[in-house]
Amino acid sequence: MAREIHTVGVVGLGAMGSGIAQLALEAGFDTIGREVEIGRAEAARDRIAHFLTRKVEKGTLEQSAHDDAVARLRLTADVADLAGCDIVIEAAFEDLAVKHALFRELEAAVGEDTILATNTSALSVTAIASALRHPERVCGMHFFNPAPLMPLVEIVRAERTAEDVFEAAFALGSKLGKTPIRCTDTPGFVVNRVLIPLLNDCVRVLDETGVTPEDLDAGMKYGAGWPMGPCALLDLVGADVHVHASEALYEKLREPRMAPPARLVRMLQAGKLGRKTGEGFYTY
């Protein structure tokens, strides 16, 4: 039987989590956002309200729909408040031990039919689910940055994901206005398996050819039709997120192209993470 989803929980309200919460609100779901501190959750609500206000100003959202969406967002610092959710989408820190602790807490808090989805890009969904008494309730829902704008969501079937859980997550992806694709729990799923080594190649090309980030970006935008150049994209994703995902892929697949380029590792060590720290390949 198809599972009905009315209330969506989002755990971790950073760039990805707040984008996912925005999507759930815009699609009409009651939405509960959880952060470790309520101040961080309030900052996420301000970001969501800002982007929704921009839509009103640009005439793509009615003021009443804006007000309704913002009013449907509840914030909490307590996992127990997610008890009434039909699905909880986790977008917390990419660390298996952190996710295991969180998923155990979630399983103890929610009802037995609640789906637990992870937005992980670098970890195995099967490994995350292994901490639970009921790993069949877990699947991946991998959104792309910025989540409100990127049309794709990868729906990931882990080793023990139940069929109705997978299909409910797939249907939810469509209701959130995305194009969902069916993936298995392989390293990098589909897009990052291709995109991460490709971005690594781009960074190595910088060093091999001596071209500037500006020229490389212009090359890929105007010669290959990319919506933004690879250096601008890495600054958007963040050197920390990219290097971590790159290391995870390299660890599993052992192809030299998967390993993070030395230049990106140096940027990470220097705190030049991109937009989030004000400096990466470009300054912001």
Residues engaged in binding ligand CAA (CB under 6 A): 19, 51, 54, 121, 144-146, 148-150, 192, 195, 227-228, 233, 237, 241, 245
- Give the shortest CB-146-to-ligand CAA separation in angstroms: 3
18 is catalytic: no
Indicate which residue of 18, 121, 124, 200 is catalytic: 121
CB-nearer residue toward ligand CAA: 152 or 171: 152
CB-nearer residue toward ligand CAA: 6 or 54: 54
- Give the shortest CB-224-to-ligand CAA separation in angstroms: 13
Indicate which residue of 124, 192, 200, 246 is catalytic: 192
Is residue 241 within 8 A of residue 268, CB to CB? The reply is: no
CB-nearer residue toward ligand CAA: 124 or 192: 192
Gap between the Cα atoms of 58 and 49, Å rounded: 14
174 is catalytic: no
- Give the shortest CB-148-to-ligand CAA separation in angstroms: 4
Indicate which residue of 18, 154, 200, 246 is catalytic: 154
Indicate which residue of 35, 94, 107, 142 is catalytic: 142
CB-nearer residue toward ligand CAA: 150 or 265: 150
CB-nearer residue toward ligand CAA: 116 or 147: 147
CB-nearer residue toward ligand CAA: 104 or 275: 275
Gap between the Cα atoms of 87 and 9, Å rounded: 6
- Give the shortest CB-78-to-ligand CAA separation in angstroms: 26
HEC sequence for the chain: CCCCCCEEEEECCCHHHHHHHHHHHHCCCEEEEECCCHHHHHHHHHHHHHHHHHHHHCCCCCHHHHHHHHHCEEEECCHHHHCCCCEEEECCCCCHHHHHHHHHHHHHHCCCCCEEEECCCCCCHHHHHCCCCCHHHEEEEEECCCCCCCCEEEEEECCCCCHHHHHHHHHHHHHCCCEEEEEECCCCCCHHHHHHHHHHHHHHHHHHHCCCHHHHHHHHHHHHCCCCCHHHHHHHHCHHHHHHHHHHHHHHHCCHHHCCCHHHHHHHHCCCCEHHHCECCCEC
121 is catalytic: yes
Gap between the Cα atoms of 21 and 32, Å rounded: 8
255 is catalytic: no
Q: List the catalytic residues.
A: 121, 142, 154, 192
